[in-house]
């Protein structure tokens, strides 16, 4: 029986999000030593449960012999040895009836890495295929049972390394990804898989961020669209299209939005009707555009991004999702730079989001993490030396009254350069509150008097720090468990005109990330512009490696 349940893996949304659940595997010859040496009573109602399989064992020296035969798997020797040592060298992929169900799913995932956004093949896939085929036909020699056992385990670690762990940390560093990489024990996770009833394995948390599985689904969708070969470029319109307009271009737009699932039904008319307006707004929201339902040049440009480019974008962001923590069981903040959004989370629950302003391409906001420790009300703004040298000195020369006009003062000199700060007040560049998480980049979250910028679709205007649209709400969230602070007291402190620093009783992790493709809370795929031009560099590394 040939194993081919990968299609089913994709068709089932439940299985898509969780690893290694597959259809039954045909049993090996019942005369093997696996059956003979299993003396315990097996609970037939829990197929694949390995918690009691301890009798069928092998000598630890066999691992070295196996790896000498398959040297490209030697890098996983420590993982393999650790895994089997904890099992007292007991077989993992076989029970008294033969090969367990989990093996078929792993094999299919190994065969089809393209659906995991991976541009390479694991070593010895063909050898694995041959052994799986032979065991399904009951032709695998008894002497090769252990070889298949070790091959499956080695392939699991190779799969985990490539698909869940991602590219080497040196690669992520080279593309300015300065967040600590996640730490996961894949040996323990494999043990958890094999001890879990396949019917309950959906409850296991995969050792990769949830976004990975969600993006994987859309990688399949866009790959199918690309394979159909129906791509066409939507013509440019001489004027923006609005509801009620009629144009042959409308026919092309309806076809594109139908393929992208924004439009539910294509009535094949040239009229810009209500159904199309709803679909256009859906598309605009998913792409971070002004969601006014008007089809202008910017919207057409986004609709004309080829599917193959979206596939590359999905692969790049699947790689990034391999690097971030799987999940946190506490409060934390996430800033997604290309999305221009701050997300406030508690555990796996998104509490609320708001617009932010990030650094200009020439003053990039760094990708890093820190622990938010201080809330500073009515803050001073200590003007960075670079801004003093490159901007303020010129302004001061042109306008002698510049500092007083902008509520600034000189506090001293260093190497002949004045040290300048702006006093607290409504015109302060940091607004009425700032949120500090000490870091080497001197970047933080803060309020701003320039509120109108939050209405812009592309919000890259700062020198690197992140301006928050709802600073009061963020301060209330951070201090909500501090009985000495209530909403009234926070309001007073923000408008006091005198700097006051509050140290949080519990630090709150902050992650500054860079995702140009992500799935939102409604399950819709979102794309954003690569404002810092980071995607192509990572895509080249993915293809190269």
205-215 pLDDT tens trace: 678 889 999 99
Q: State whether 46 and 141 are in the same domain.
A: yes
Q: Which two tokens stand for residue 41?
A: 């009573």
* Residues 161-200 pLDDT 10s: 989 999 888 889 889 999 888 888 888 888 888 877 766 6
Structural domain total, the chain: 4
Given a contact cutoff of 8 angstroms between Cβ atoms, the answer to whether 133 and 71 are in contact is: no
Q: State whether 397 and 429 are in the same domain.
A: no
Q: Tell me the mean pLDDT in the region 10-22.
A: 30
Going by pLDDT thresholds of 50, 70 and 90, the confidence category of residue 20 is: very low
354, 446, 463, 500: which is the annotated catalytic residue?
A: 446
| Annotation says 446 is catalytic | yes
Judge whether 312 lies within some domain: no
Q: State whether 435 and 504 are in the same domain.
A: yes
Residue-by-residue DSSP string for 411-442:
EEEETTEEEEEEPSSTT-TTTTEEEE---TT-
- List the single range of 117-121, 146-150, 270-274 with lowest mean pLDDT: 117-121
Q: State whether 134 and 94 are in the same domain.
A: yes
Q: State whether 48 and 148 are in the same domain.
A: yes
Q: State whether 372 and 409 are in the same domain.
A: no
Question: How would you write 2-22 as a 3-class SS string?
Answer: CCCCHHHHHHCHHHHCCCCCC
Judge whether 336 lies within some domain: yes
Can you tell me the distance from the alpha carbon of 133 to that of 350, in angstroms, rounded to the nearest whole number? 45
Given a contact cutoff of 8 angstroms between Cβ atoms, the answer to whether 57 and 90 are in contact is: yes
Judge whether 99 lies within some domain: yes
- CATH code where residue 428 lies: 2.40.440.10
- What's the pTM value of the predicted model, to 2 decimals? 0.83
| Annotation says 463 is catalytic | no
Domain that includes residue 190, residue range: 6-207
Q: What pLDDT sits at residue 545?
A: 66
Q: State whether 413 and 428 are in the same domain.
A: no
Q: State whether 52 and 30 are in the same domain.
A: yes
Length of the chain counted residue by residue: 545
Q: What pLDDT sits at residue 202?
A: 63
Q: Tell me the mean pLDDT in the region 518-541.
A: 95
Judge whether 508 lies within some domain: yes
Q: State whether 366 and 392 are in the same domain.
A: no
Can you tell me the distance from the alpha carbon of 58 to that of 32, in angstroms, rounded to the nearest whole number? 14
Q: State whether 250 and 297 are in the same domain.
A: yes
Going by pLDDT thresholds of 50, 70 and 90, the confidence category of residue 8 is: very low
Q: What pLDDT sits at residue 258?
A: 97
* Residues 243-282 pLDDT 10s: 999 999 999 999 999 999 999 999 999 999 999 999 999 9
Residue where a domain stops, chosen among 305, 340, 366:
305
Judge whether 63 lies within some domain: yes
* Residues 53-82 pLDDT 10s: 567 899 999 999 999 999 999 999 999 999
Indicate if the pLDDT at residue 4 is higher than 50.
Answer: no
Going by pLDDT thresholds of 50, 70 and 90, the confidence category of residue 103 is: confident
Q: State whether 132 and 171 are in the same domain.
A: yes
Residue where a domain stops, chosen among 274, 305, 336:
305
Q: What pLDDT sits at residue 105?
A: 81
DSSP 120: S
Which of 57, 2, 58 lies closest to 25, judged by CA? 2
Contacts of 404 (CB under 8 A, 6+ apart): none
Judge whether 314 lies within some domain: no
Question: How would you write 490-523 as a 3-class SS string?
Answer: HHHHHCCCCCEEEEEEEEEEEEEECCCEEECCCC
Can you tell me the distance from the alpha carbon of 110 to that of 123, in angstroms, rounded to the nearest whole number? 10
Q: State whether 89 and 236 are in the same domain.
A: no
């Amino acid at each position: 029986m040939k194993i081919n349940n990968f299609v089913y893996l994709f068709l089932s949304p439940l299985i898509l999000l969780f690893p290694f659940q597959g259809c039954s595997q045909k049993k090996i010859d019942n005369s093997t030593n696996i059956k003979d040496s299993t003396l315990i009573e097996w609970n037939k109602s829990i197929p694949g449960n390995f918690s009691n399989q301890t009798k069928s064992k092998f000598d630890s020296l066999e691992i070295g012999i196996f790896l000498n035969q398959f040297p490209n798997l030697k890098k996983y020797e420590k993982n393999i040895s650790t895994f089997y040592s904890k099992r007292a060298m007991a077989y993992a992929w076989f029970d008294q009836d033969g090969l367990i169900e989990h093996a078929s799913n792993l094999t299919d995932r190994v065969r089809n890495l393209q659906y995991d956004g991976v541009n390479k093949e694991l070593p010895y896939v063909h050898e694995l295929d041959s052994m799986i085929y032979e065991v399904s036909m009951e032709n695998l020699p008894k002497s090769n049972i252990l070889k298949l056992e070790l091959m499956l385990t080695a392939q699991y670690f190779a799969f985990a390394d490539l698909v869940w762990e991602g590219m080497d940390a040196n690669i992520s560093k080279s593309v300015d990804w300065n967040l600590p990489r996640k730490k996961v024990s894949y040996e323990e996770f494999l043990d958890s898989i094999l001890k879990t009833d396949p019917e309950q394995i959906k409850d296991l948390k995969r050792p990769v961020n949830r976004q990975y599985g969600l993006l994987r689904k859309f990688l399949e969708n866009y790959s199918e669209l690309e394979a159909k070969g129906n791509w066409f470029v939507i013509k440019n319109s001489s004027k923006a299209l609005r509801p009620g307009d009629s144009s042959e271009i409308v026919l092309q737009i309806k076809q594109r939005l139908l393929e992208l699932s924004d439009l539910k039904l294509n009535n094949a008319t040239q009229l810009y009707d209500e159904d199309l307006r709803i679909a256009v707004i859906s598309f605009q929201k998913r792409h971070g555009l002004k969601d006014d339902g008007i089809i202008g040049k910017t919207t057409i440009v986004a609709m004309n991004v080829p599917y193959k480019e979206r596939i590359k974008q999905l692969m790049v962001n699947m790689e990034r999702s391999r690097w971030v923590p799987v999940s946190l069981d506490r409060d934390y903040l996430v800033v997604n730079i290309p999305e221009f959004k701050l997300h406030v989370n508690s555990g796996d629950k998104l509490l609320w989001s708001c617009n932010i302003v990030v650094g200009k391409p020439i003053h990039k906001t760094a990708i890093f993490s820190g622990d938010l420790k201080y809330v500073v009300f009515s803050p001073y703004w200590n003007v960075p030396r670079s801004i003093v040298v490159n901007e303020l000195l010129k302004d001061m020369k042109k306008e002698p009254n510049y500092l007083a006009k902008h509520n600034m003062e000189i506090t001293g000199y260093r190497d002949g350069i004045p040290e300048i700060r702006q006093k607290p007040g409504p015109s302060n560049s940091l607004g009425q509150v700032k949120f500090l998480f000490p870091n080497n980049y001197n970047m933080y979250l803060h309020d701003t008097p320039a509120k109108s910028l939050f209405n812009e679709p592309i919000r890259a205007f700062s020198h690197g720090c992140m301006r928050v649209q709802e600073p009061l709400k963020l301060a209330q969230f951070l201090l909500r468990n501090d009985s000495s602070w209530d909403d009234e007291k926070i309001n007073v402190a923000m408008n006091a005109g005198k700097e006051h620093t509050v140290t949080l009783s519990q630090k709150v992790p902050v992650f500054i990330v860079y995702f140009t493709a992500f799935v939102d809370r409604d399950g819709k795929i979102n794309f954003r512009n690569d404002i810092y031009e980071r995607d192509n560099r990572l895509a080249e590394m993915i293809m190269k490696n």
